């Protein structure tokens, strides 16, 4: 676990820092786009920037873009961290631990890094809002729901890749399902039940661990 | 320990990489696999490690298909591709971190492995500052430090200076005498023939001929 964790942290700092910077710059630009327009509502400058109030039907095109960016960014980070060990360093890791041990360590690291990035974003925009004299209460529950939601997005995208590897013919259905779940259904995180999100997260991860045993060789070969 | 490769073939899509390979590996020997780049040596080594699955045939460890049961072979270490370590850590720290995964060795064994590959003087240098040869040596050190029963090295002498290559050959011979299996692959025939007890030639996915050579002392 320690090896995977340190390796991934170093990887993020060394190889992905440009993308981390782009992530913050885009969110910052969106934040100040509203500030310069004179919009000082907490809902817009804080909640919309972090896409925690997104609703596919009522949100504008800019909010939709920010939401898509947030989801894509975390899926990108997930796949970068997941595939890097399968592409480089198989002999270091896979002869010292089982595939299940590796997957569990990897998922914990991905979730930790995602939670950390979200924490930085929440605190960053909290501070910016205070600088702009916009009073924003830091909602720990909102942050936790945001984190769980992102975890569900990340684990679902991995699960669909695993299923697609095993049953290639299912891929078009899986892609449509993924788009349906996360882009069509309302995603106002305020309205989501924490318990439902948590149970969904646990269920998806159980399936992930179950599926991985039967597809890990195919995933390695595809790299 | 005995490894039996029985009727193993490997295809990727419509492309056949390996055709009907039959080899056995036993303790106390160094096996050399030679062949030009693209002849299937690395694919074969990855199948031995359990990274790839044979399209047909099976690989047995003491009569058991361990890879199917447990996912990876017992007591095996390998250096197959470019070594992958953490750039900001020193050579020593990288090995220590790897050793912490299974926790079967301590500092003494790690330092011995670094000594065996002539990296003691550079053990506290950051990996990002290592030359290609030093990176290769560290990769070999990680394969040897835990004294596994099976060691697989693909092109181990790439970028390694002659003195270290000579020392490494001596170390590998001593290692195999401890009843271990050592499998080396290289496209440089001389490297293998100086070391191996048995040499297999890979050509277009098949083993074309088996050459028995005695070790030069």
Q: In chain A, what residues touch B73 (CB-CB under 8 Å)?
A: 95
User: What is the structure's pLDDT at B160?
Assistant: 82
List pLDDT tens digits, range B98-140.
Answer: 999 999 999 999 999 999 888 999 999 999 999 988 999 999 9
A220 within 8 A of B51, measured Cβ to Cβ: yes
How many angstroms separate the CA of residue B139 from the nearest CA in chain A? 9
Summary mean pLDDT of chain B: 87
Indicate the pLDDT class of residue A189, thresholds 50, 70 and 90.
low
Q: Is B166 on the interface with A (CB under 8 A)?
A: no
Closest-CA residue of chain B to A212: B71
Summary mean pLDDT of chain A: 84
How much is the ipTM here? 0.84
| pTM for this prediction | 0.88
| Average pLDDT score over residue span B50-67 | 88
Inspect the interface and report whether the beta carbons of A95 and B72 lie closer than 8 Å. yes
List pLDDT tens digits, range A197-216.
Answer: 889 899 999 999 988 888 88
User: What is the structure's pLDDT at B46?
Assistant: 92
Element (H, E) at A156: helix A140-166
CA distances (Å), origin A201, targets A110, A111, A154, B156:
14, 11, 10, 44
Domain B1-75+151-217: CATH superfamily is P-loop containing nucleotide triphosphate hydrolases (3.40.50.300)
How many angstroms separate the CA of residue A32 from the nearest CA in chain B? 36
Residue A41 or residue A4, greater confidence: A4
What is the C-alpha separation between A100 and A104, in angstroms, rounded?
A: 6
Give domain limits for chain B. 1-75+151-217, 82-148
User: What is the structure's pLDDT at B190?
Assistant: 79
What is the C-alpha separation between B141 and B139, in angstroms, rounded?
A: 5
Closest-CA residue of chain A to B49: A95
How many angstroms separate the CA of residue B205 from the nearest CA in chain A? 17
What is the C-alpha separation between A110 and A89, in angstroms, rounded?
A: 18
DSSP designation for A137:
-
DSSP designation for A182:
I
Residue B181 or residue A188, greater confidence: B181
List pLDDT tens digits, range A44-65.
Answer: 667 777 777 777 777 788 888 8
């Amino acid at each position: 676990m320690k090896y995977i964790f340190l390796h991934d942290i170093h990887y993020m700092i060394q190889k992905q820092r440009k993308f981390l910077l782009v992530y913050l710059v885009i969110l910052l630009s969106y934040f100040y786009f509203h500030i310069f327009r004179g919009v000082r509502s907490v809902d817009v400058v804080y909640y919309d920037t972090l896409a925690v109030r997104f609703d596919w039907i009522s949100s504008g095109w800019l909010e939709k873009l920010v939401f898509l960016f947030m989801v894509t960014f975390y899926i990108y980070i997930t796949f970068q961290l997941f595939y890097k060990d399968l592409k480089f360093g198989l002999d270091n890791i896979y002869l010292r631990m089982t595939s299940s041990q590796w997957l569990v360590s990897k998922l914990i690291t991905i979730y930790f890094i995602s939670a950390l990035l979200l924490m930085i974003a929440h605190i960053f925009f909290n501070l910016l809002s205070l600088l702009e004299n916009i009073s924003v209460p830091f909602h720990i529950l909102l942050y936790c729901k945001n984190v769980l939601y992102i975890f569900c997005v990340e684990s679902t995208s991995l699960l669909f890749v695993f299923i697609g590897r095993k049953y290639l013919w299912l891929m078009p259905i899986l892609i449509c399902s993924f788009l349906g779940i996360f882009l069509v259904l309302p995603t106002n995180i305020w309205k989501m039940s924490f318990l439902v999100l948590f149970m969904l997260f646990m269920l998806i991860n159980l399936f992930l661990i179950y599926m991985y045993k039967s597809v890990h060789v195919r995933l390695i070969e595809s790299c | 320990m005995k490894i039996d490769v029985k009727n193993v073939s490997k295809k990727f899509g419509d492309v056949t990489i390996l055709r009907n390979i039959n080899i056995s590996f036993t303790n106390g020997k160094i096996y050399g696999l030679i062949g030009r780049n693209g002849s299937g040596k690395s694919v074969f080594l990855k199948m031995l490690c359990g990274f790839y699955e044979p399209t047909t045939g099976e690989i047995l460890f003491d009569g058991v298909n361990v890879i199917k049961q447990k996912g990876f072979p017992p007591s095996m270490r390998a250096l197959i591709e470019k070594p992958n370590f953490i750039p900001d850590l020193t050579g020593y720290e990288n090995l220590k971190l790897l050793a912490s995964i299974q926790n079967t060795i301590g500092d003494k064994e790690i330092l011995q492995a670094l000594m065996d590959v002539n990296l003691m003087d550079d053990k506290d240098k950051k990996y990002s500052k290592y030359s290609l040869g030093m990176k290769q040596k560290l990769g070999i050190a990680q394969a040897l430090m835990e004294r596994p029963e099976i060691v697989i090295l693909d092109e181990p002498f790439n970028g390694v200076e002659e003195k270290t290559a000579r020392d490494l050959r001596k170390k590998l011979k001593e290692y195999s005498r401890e009843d271990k299996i050592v499998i080396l692959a290289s496209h440089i025939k001389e490297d293998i023939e100086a070391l191996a007890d048995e040499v297999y030639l890979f050509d277009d996915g098949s083993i074309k001929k088996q050459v028995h050579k005695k070790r030069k002392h």
